[in-house]
Structure 1
Amino acid sequence: MKLENYKNYQNIHIWTGILSGLLLYICFVAGAFTMFKAPLNTWALHQEHTLPPIAETQYDTLIKKVLQAHPEASAQLSVYLPNAMPKHAPVQWVIEDEDTHQHTYWQASLDNDGALISRSTSLSEIGDFLDHLHRTAGIPGGDEHDAVGIYVMGIVCVLYFVAIVSGLVIFLPTWVKDLFALRKNKKGKRFWVDFHNILGISALPFHIIIAVTTFVFAYHDILYGGLQTAVYQDKPMFNRPAPIEADRGIENLLSISVLEDKITATEPDFKLTELNFSGLGTPRARLIMGGELVGEIIRGPYYAYWVTDPYTASAGYTAMLPSVSGIPGKVVNSFFTLHFGGFGGSFIHWIYFAMGLSGCLLFLSGNIIWIESRRKKMSTSQAVKQPVSVRVLSRLTVGVCAGTFIGIGLSVIAAKQASYSQNDIQFYQHLAYYVGFIFAVVYSFCVTPIRAAIHSLYLLVLLALGCIAISCVYWQTSLSHTIDVGVSIVATCLAVLFAICARRLVKKQPHIPYDGVWQ
């Protein structure tokens, strides 16, 4: 490759990486933890704020009693069968305030005599908050579907993809020599370049998948609109079946056993787990049935879905089912399952968790390489004045990277505590994240980056230990001791990792030049 072309690709890789790296770092950290969204939601719950489970044969009775006592639940009603997660209540629905858009959660069950128990409650859904953080990088604005952060991350992922391609181009000429090489005895920058290359090449397919699928998710409405205009024109892109004439009273809802027979006739291995009703009592009533299909290309991170009419179980929308989705449906489903890691069960979730954290290190190392490349070396004759861009990015890198973990740690602890006291959980878990994140960023500008990094790492050790401590404090009220143990093991591993990194920086600190970049 000509030197000029090499430098052009190198500049493209550098600037697309710098412009997108820190936002991608936030999304990858949150995305790694989002792989365990459902277990985290369960971990944050307490027995005092759950309702008793019921037998599967009682669900039809419970649904009808809820709709009779709470007609507002017909707008959107979720039913969780015994094998679902979380296990806070068999039935749940949400009421949204039209003025404030605040959500009030209601849940229902049956007592030992078969009488209805229903109450409003506060749910943390910390896993869902981390998922929102993963999709928006914490950028405020917009609602859940049209969040500003989603559109921003769509643009960021275009830069991300360009950085991947350009990085691969500049790596290929020396790939034989540099593949998996980690030269510690060379200059510090050489080590970080090798480390960056190893992280990028070893997870190259994963990064391509994430970049492409994120762009599709961010702009799918625009993409569909373009297809409608250019290809389908006056014809509908999706053929929705006309509503079937039927008596849509509560008593005419199909039983769960009938619905289960209907879906297993199409997908024999489908294990029904949850049902989400909407628009009950109207011609547009809809039911989304979620269930496990191990080893298949499915739409969600945990479940495959089938959309039907809850009164007739008509064919409905089957594109989400692997066996009847056809080629277009399989292509769309593959975007979801590859992004969510919805294939291969828990093993793939752990692989994606590790890939997410390795992606964080990829973006961190990229920033360090940029800073080290532009840092002016100290001279014995005169003081060195570093470029503003280098000084700002070194502080932002430390602040954002540490702040993301600090914010998530505080948010997780706040969700567990607020769930027990039934305070405004959503408010406190959001507040905890943004306070932790902003504090870390501001602190990195108040002291030298190396001191900010060391202090932040020790704080992260305390937060990881705090997650273990709060799991122990509320052990008796926990819904799942298995999940408590899992959270404690992960927190212990992170605490050890943060402590090792802090000790390494403390030992390295005396050897770092006082040149205005790191200290």
Structure 2
Amino acid sequence: MKIRSDILRVYQSLHTWVGICAGMLLFIGFFGGALTMFKQPLDRWISAPAHALPAMPVAQTDQLVRELLAQKPAARKEFTLHLQQHENVAAPVSWSEGEGERSIDVSATRWHAALDPSGKLLVQEEVPSLLAELIDMLHRTGGIPGRLGDEYIGAYLMGIAGIMYFLALVSGVILLLPTLVKDFFALRPGKNHKRFWLDAHNIVGIASLPYHIVISVTVIVFAFHDQFYGGIAKVVYGEQPMFARRAADAAPHHIGDLQPASALVAAVRREAPGFEVAELMYMGLETPRPMIRAAVASPRYLVRGAETGYVMIHPYTGKVIDTSMLPSKGDAWSDVVAPMFALHFGSYGGSLMRWVYFLFGASGAFLFYSGNLLWVEKRRKNQLRNGPVPQQSITTRVMAAATVGVCLGSMAGVAFAIVAGKWLFAAAENINSAYLTVYYCVFLAALAWAFWRGASRAAVHLLALCALGALAIPLTSLMALLLPSLGWWAHGSMAAIGVDVTALVFALLFAYAARLTARRAQHGPADSVWAKPGCT
């Protein structure tokens, strides 16, 4: 396919600069997004068994709800009945007084409740570990703190990066069109490292193009959904409300008239055959509009939530109120919106699809990292034959150091934050504050080290730091088994073991990358930004 050279130059400039401007922020978003594919395993790995209340028979669920509402009136505002028991579920019932869904309150207290063998209500108060939620927040905001109104500043910046990301995708495809057939599967290793990185960059970008288009569009929608809804409401709906509010019940209800939980679960199963009921969230039981949000899961369907669809049911009558967030039961608007959520979250296809999304997320991070490396290599000053080694421009050196510090620093920060959940469990007053402190200390230290030591030295050191952080995860579990006096723990479920195995694989990959980077710094072209100073 023939495209005029002047047009290609315009698109090359567009592709380069939007990629550079958004690349490092998107690297953190994609790396964090890859980890969120396994939020539950991470929660299981980090959850302390000492905080779990004794298990109780399913037959006691109805009695538990009655005792809870009678003895703890605060739970009538909102509580969750967990129907699945895992290491990260401390009790069958939990409730809290935190902020809304968009915010994370690292100090919010959560209460858990269960029944002892004699039927007595056991209540436990704690500040729960929010490791997986904090990694998800890193994915959504790029780790940029601060708020603007009801939303995080980082979320808006990620939305702007999403727009630039989409432009980079389109311009990249146009640039590759003239040589698509010839160069698509070409991966040419050798002395020309720039050609190798360009080939790898192009293969990853084109092979995962549909995934990246979906992610770029949904990132924009998620970041600016309030603005989109406001515009639609004003233009389309005018003075009418965009979302119809359910009419208030004619008469007040008495808390003793609640339908048994077992009957409500049965009603949800009748409405959603083929789905597994994961939890029931009771809301506003003493208001004119009481409701239960039943979370239902099935890997065969595209669902609205990160892992589940929802059925709204009346807690006093047992009648289904709303199925717009249940696959195949929603309206036309829901049928358009739900796939967008599902395609972004990877909440379909079971474990296999989660691994596919994990690999796509990791490859997306590689796409932005390699793009920055290509920018640096293209702008380096080449050494003339037998001439002196040129001094690279400040812009090139700064970009190389920033790429190494931000990208590798964020990965090392997450790794050490994960192990801090066990290392600091007994000493930290608030483990969630400890996660944030560890992450930002490691991240900022890595960034400072990259600028102080330069990209060539820092890349080796920081890759070794990433390897050490990843290796510390399975070593922590091993030491918990061998030295129980440390106060650490190691769960034996496949989900928790999977975290250890995956971390070990990444530790080996980081160590191998550190070795290759050190070799190139020592023996590569002396005029490269990645060459060790003083090498020839």
| TM-score bucket (shorter structure) | over 0.9
Which of 71, 75, 86 in structure 2 is aligned with 1:73? 75
Q: Which shifted more, 451-460 or 22-31? A: 451-460
Which of 76, 82, 85 in structure 1 is aligned with 2:84? 82
Q: Normalising to structure 1: TM-score of the pair?
A: 0.95
1:180 aligned onto 2:185: yes
Task: Give, in whole Å, the separation in 2 of the partners of 1:289 and 1:474.
Answer: 37
1:409 aligned onto 2:409: no
Task: Give, in whole Å, the separation in 2 of the partners of 1:301 and 1:421.
Answer: 33
Deviations 1:282-302 (A, max 9, x none): 113232111212301111232
Contact kept? 1:45, 1:419, Cα under 8 Å: no
Partner residue in 2 for 1:127:
132
Partner residue in 1 for 2:212:
207
Which of 353, 357, 373 in structure 2 is aligned with 1:348? 353
1:510 aligned onto 2:522: yes
Partner residue in 1 for 2:16:
14
Contact kept? 1:46, 1:420, Cα under 8 Å: no
1:51 aligned onto 2:53: yes
Which of 192, 197, 200 in structure 1 is aligned with 2:197? 192
Distance 1:246 1:258, change over 3 A: farther
Task: Give, in whole Å, the separation in 2 of the partners of 1:472 and 1:245.
Answer: 60
Query: 2:475 is matched by which residue type in structure 1?
Result: A
Which of 480, 484, 493 in structure 2 is aligned with 1:481? 493
Post-superposition offset of 1:516: 7.5
Partner residue in 1 for 2:258:
253
1:38 aligned onto 2:28: no
Post-superposition offset of 1:176: 1.1
DSSP 3-state at the match of 1:351: helix
Query: 1:7 is matched by which residue type in structure 2?
Result: R
Distance 1:480 1:95, change over 3 A: farther
DSSP 3-state at the match of 2:321: coil
Post-superposition offset of 1:62: 1.3
Partner residue in 1 for 2:112:
107
Partner residue in 2 for 1:310:
315
Q: Which shifted more, 88-97 or 105-114? A: 88-97
Q: Which shifted more, 83-92 or 105-114? A: 83-92
1:270 aligned onto 2:275: yes
Task: Report 1 or 2 for greater relative contact order, CA contacts < 8 Å, sequence distance ≥ 6.
Answer: 1
Partner residue in 2 for 1:320:
325
Query: 1:466 is matched by which residue type in structure 2?
Result: A
Deviations 1:106-142 (A, max 9, x none): 1111111110110111321211111111001101012
Task: Give, in whole Å, the separation in 2 of the partners of 1:489 and 1:144.
Answer: 41
Task: Give, in whole Å, the separation in 2 of the partners of 1:193 and 1:97.
Answer: 45
Distance 1:500 1:478, change over 3 A: closer
Contact kept? 1:17, 1:163, Cα under 8 Å: yes
Task: Give, in whole Å, the separation in 2 of the partners of 1:188 and 1:268.
Answer: 55
Contact kept? 2:389, 2:526, Cα under 8 Å: no
Contact kept? 2:302, 2:342, Cα under 8 Å: yes
1:158 aligned onto 2:163: yes
Aligned residue runs from structure 1 range 330-479, under 5 A: 330-379=335-384, 380-382=386-388, 384-419=390-425, 423-475=429-481, 477-479=489-491
Q: Which shifted more, 119-128 or 141-150? A: 141-150
Post-superposition offset of 1:311: 2.2
Task: Give, in whole Å, the separation in 2 of the partners of 1:315 and 1:65.
Answer: 25
Partner residue in 1 for 2:512:
500
Distance 1:468 1:479, change over 3 A: closer
Task: Give, in whole Å, the separation in 1 of the partners of 2:200 and 2:429.
Answer: 45
Contact kept? 2:76, 2:284, Cα under 8 Å: yes
Deviations 1:57-114 (A, max 9, x none): 212221222222222222221211135673221111112499x964111111111111
What is the aligned-residue RMSD (CA, Å)? 2.1
Partner residue in 2 for 1:222:
227
Post-superposition offset of 1:337: 0.5
